[in-house]
Structure 1
Amino acid sequence: MKALKINSLEEIHAVAREFLQLVGNKKVFALYGDMGVGKTTFIKAICEELGVQDSVNSPSFAIVNEYHSATDHIIYHFDFYRIEEEEEAYDFGYEDYFYSDAMCFIEWPEKIESLLPKETVVIHFSETANGTRILNIQ
């Protein structure tokens, strides 16, 4: 396991670059953590590092947003917070996303845990008393 620290928003892009180097060619990422801990903000920084020009925000109502990198790679951003049952993921064809060659960032993966591919990179976000975000990557 590797831990990355984000001490301030000024550091987030450097940590995003470090994260991308660390995970190499991994494609599916499950982001765990309390609401407001910075999961969406970190995904936005990663997307910016990959050259995404689109507006990156939480897909709370849409469940999934699609972005395109500077090299025209597809990035999917999921937010499963609002789903009630795992079966709802079948309704929009989660397999087509998770098993594509696209990067998939999944917020609230605990809602669909048994559907995650075996090679999913698990990231636990936490916040210290002074506001530092810690990302424990497995």
Structure 2
Amino acid sequence: MKFEIHSIAETQKFAQEMARLCRGENVLITLDGDLGAGKTTWTKAFGKALGVKNTINSPTFTILKSYKQEDGKPLHHIDAYRLEGASQDLGFEDCFDEGITVIEWSHYIEDQLPDDRISISLEEGIGEDRTIVIEATGKETQEILEGYHD
């Protein structure tokens, strides 16, 4: 699925719709795009729509931050930017077992990720314009995305 968004408000609306689809699921979402493409902006709106009360910010230096969703399940936020070239097992499997995990810069840890996930690419355009590409890579995530409408 591919579409265009033209503002931060549309980025937030897209994140809210994804939160509606993912609520209550155990799912991995990978977010990729250049610096400034809106990955953290998207994650903040996504978390807020899931009822996260704490401030969500980029875990660039801590790598992983966990929050509690409204239903009590965890929302894990991983920034893999500083993990480029890391070859050891980083122990993220536990994050994939319960709740929702959002990973920015996922291509740096590609070999440690489950096969079934929702992959979101944010490609920068002019100003706030973005091209969004969403792909479900397995049966469970395909079922989640079947309910998507913008």
User: Out of 98, 105, 120, which is 1:123 matched to?
Assistant: 120
1:101 aligns with 2:135: no
1:76 aligns with 2:76: yes
* Alignment check: 8 A CA contact 2:28 2:102 kept: yes
Q: 1:33 — aligned with what? A: 33
TM-score computed with the length of structure 1 as normaliser: 0.86
Partner amino acid for 1:15? Answer: F
Gaps of 5+ in 1: none
1:113 Cα deviation (Å)?
Answer: 0.7
Is the partner of 1:82 in helix, strand or coil? Answer: helix
Percentage of matched positions with identical amino acids: 34
Distance (whole Å) between structure 1 residues aligned to residue 122 and residue 87 of structure 2: 26
Q: How many correspondences in the alignment?
A: 134
Q: 2:110 — aligned with what? A: 113
Instruction: Identify if the C-alpha distance between structure 1 residues 32 and 12 changes in structure 2 by more than 3 Å, giving closer, same or farther.
Output: closer
Is the partner of 1:14 in helix, strand or coil? Answer: helix
After superposition, give the CA deviation of every residue in 1:83-133 in whole Å (9 maximum; x if it has no partner): 243334x24x111112x1220100111111111101011111112224212
Partner amino acid for 1:49? Answer: A
TM-score computed with the length of structure 2 as normaliser: 0.80
Instruction: Identify if the C-alpha distance between structure 1 residues 21 and 4 changes in structure 2 by more than 3 Å, giving closer, same or farther.
Output: farther
Q: 1:14 — aligned with what? A: 13
Is the partner of 2:71 in helix, strand or coil? Answer: coil
Is the partner of 1:40 in helix, strand or coil? Answer: helix
1:32 Cα deviation (Å)?
Answer: 1.1
Q: 2:42 — aligned with what? A: 42
